[in-house]
Amino acid sequence: MKGRLPTTHFVKSKCALAITAFFTASVLSASALAFVPLSQDQAQDNSSTVSKSYSASDKAVSIAKETIIVDGHIDVPYRVKNQWVDVTKATDDGDFDYPRAVKGGLNAPFMSIYVPASLDNSPESTQLAHLLIDSVEAIVARAPDKFAIAKSPSDVKAHFKKGIISLPLGMENGSPIQGNLDNLKDFHERGIRYITLAHSQSNHISDSSYDLRRQWKGLSPFGKQLVSEMNNIGIMLDISHVSDDAFYQVVELTHVPVIASHSSLRRFTPGFERNMNDDMIKKLGDNGGVIMINFGSSFVSKEAGQWRTGLTNARKALIKAEGEDSPKLEDFEAQYRKKVPYPYSTLDEVLDHIDHVVKLIGVDHVGIGSDYDGVGDSLPIGLKDVSSFPNLVQGLLDRDYSRADIEKILSGNLLRVWQQVEDYAETH
């Protein structure tokens, strides 16, 4: 459909690469839960059961337009780095641009300053982070009547009143800090308001949920120091991507609530450590934090994870049979999808994640972290791009959420945590 990236993009997306690495490692690890790949018939059965179409009522559209919507994680900066496009105007690919954001009511998407784990422990990681911040500033410079950098909850609220879309900044992967707290201060001055401590590999701060090598058994000594410094300077701690041990250490050390900027629930994806289990969610609730639900199908349903495991195993079998130079590897995923259709999750399944958080710890601790432009062609039916937020609102209405609670999920909870972090920093 128009506005979506081609199928092959999913192979190159950052989340797909990390997920593939995780499931490949899981298959090789005796301690990991092995997933059984979907058969072609199973995938087709799944596809036939999720053909439901979604539409939003006038009430849902009004709520989306009249409410601040904060999305905890959108990968526009890295998208435009890979292939420049002017998101201040309508675009033919990707998940985000100005017209679609306006249509969906999205007005405060955190721009992900994503630094690949391959650049860890190198000056290039710090350089890339600054360049990606530059790219967000360039978006604002091209269209100051449409966008503005937001460095505080008050900025978001002021921009909303003016009809301008806020672009707050979150750093995905703490690698650019390089163990130097002066870098932390520099990034804070430039607008970074949360840091995802690690990405797909253990770094100098924290172990990663994707990396079976747990060199720190949680946080490094510098990572423990960084928790305190981030509290003091006013940068939210993002525990998406970190190992379970690192999560528990963060919530013990922090003096303010933390966020999971783009994570979903392990209850629905058994064995997938990148998501949070029920005990972690309860600890997050005790901490006062917020889990922001990731829309990527592999984060939402176990079937999508099983499909990727099947893809990985099929690719390995081809390499074993024909070698690394096989021409069939060039469009391998596209051909595999023809034989075994991808089992997209649905809006209803995303809502199941929200419902479960509310059941466990209450409506004050859940938000939205879509990962648009970061998960490639894996988005759920009903939530294919940023214009789809009224569908989400409609789903919440259909499940009898009040308008007040919907507003908490769309932005109120994250803005509360952000303000608490700022208030603490002002006194320390």
Please give the share of the chain, as a percent, with pLDDT higher than 90.
87
User: Which residues 6+ apart lie within 8 Å of 338 measured at CB?
Assistant: none
Is the pLDDT reported for residue 385 higher than 60? yes
Tens of pLDDT, residue by residue over 112-156, are 999 999 999 999 999 999 999 999 999 999 999 999 999 999 999
**What CATH number was assigned to the domain covering residues 46-299+345-426?**
3.20.20.140
Round to whole Å and give the CA distance between 407 and 262.
18
Break the chain down into helix, strand, coil percent, rounded to 5.
55, 10, 35
Is the pLDDT reported for residue 174 higher than 50? yes
Is the pLDDT reported for residue 170 higher than 90? yes
Identify the band that residue 41 occupies on the pLDDT scale cut at 50, 70 and 90: very low
Q: What is the DSSP letter of 365?
A: G
Letter for the amino acid at 413?
N
Is the pLDDT reported for residue 183 higher than 70? yes
pLDDT mean across residues, the chain: 91
Q: Is 316 helix (H, G, I), strand (E, B) or coil?
A: helix
Is the pLDDT reported for residue 195 higher than 70? yes
Residue 52 is predicted with a pLDDT of 75
pTM: 0.90
**Mean per-residue pLDDT for 358-384?**
98
**Mean per-residue pLDDT for 268-279?**
97
Identify the band that residue 281 occupies on the pLDDT scale cut at 50, 70 and 90: very high
User: Which residues 6+ apart lie within 8 Å of 279 measured at CB?
Assistant: none
Residue 361 is predicted with a pLDDT of 98
> Looking at per-residue confidence, does 286 or 42 come out higher?
286
Identify the band that residue 359 occupies on the pLDDT scale cut at 50, 70 and 90: very high
Tens of pLDDT, residue by residue over 399-426, are 999 999 999 999 999 999 999 999 999 9
Residue 19 is predicted with a pLDDT of 61
Residue 417 is predicted with a pLDDT of 99
Beta pairing class for 169-172 and 165-167: unpaired
Round to whole Å and give the CA distance between 137 and 152.
16
Please give the share of the chain, as a percent, with pLDDT higher than 70.
88
Domain ranges of the chain: 46-299+345-426
Structure tokens at 335: 């051909």
Is the pLDDT reported for residue 94 higher than 80? yes
**Mean per-residue pLDDT for 260-275?**
98
Residue 53 is predicted with a pLDDT of 84
Residue 13 is predicted with a pLDDT of 65
Tens of pLDDT, residue by residue over 47-58, are 444 457 899 999
List C-alpha distances in Å: 185 to 134, 176, 371, 426: 17, 12, 26, 15
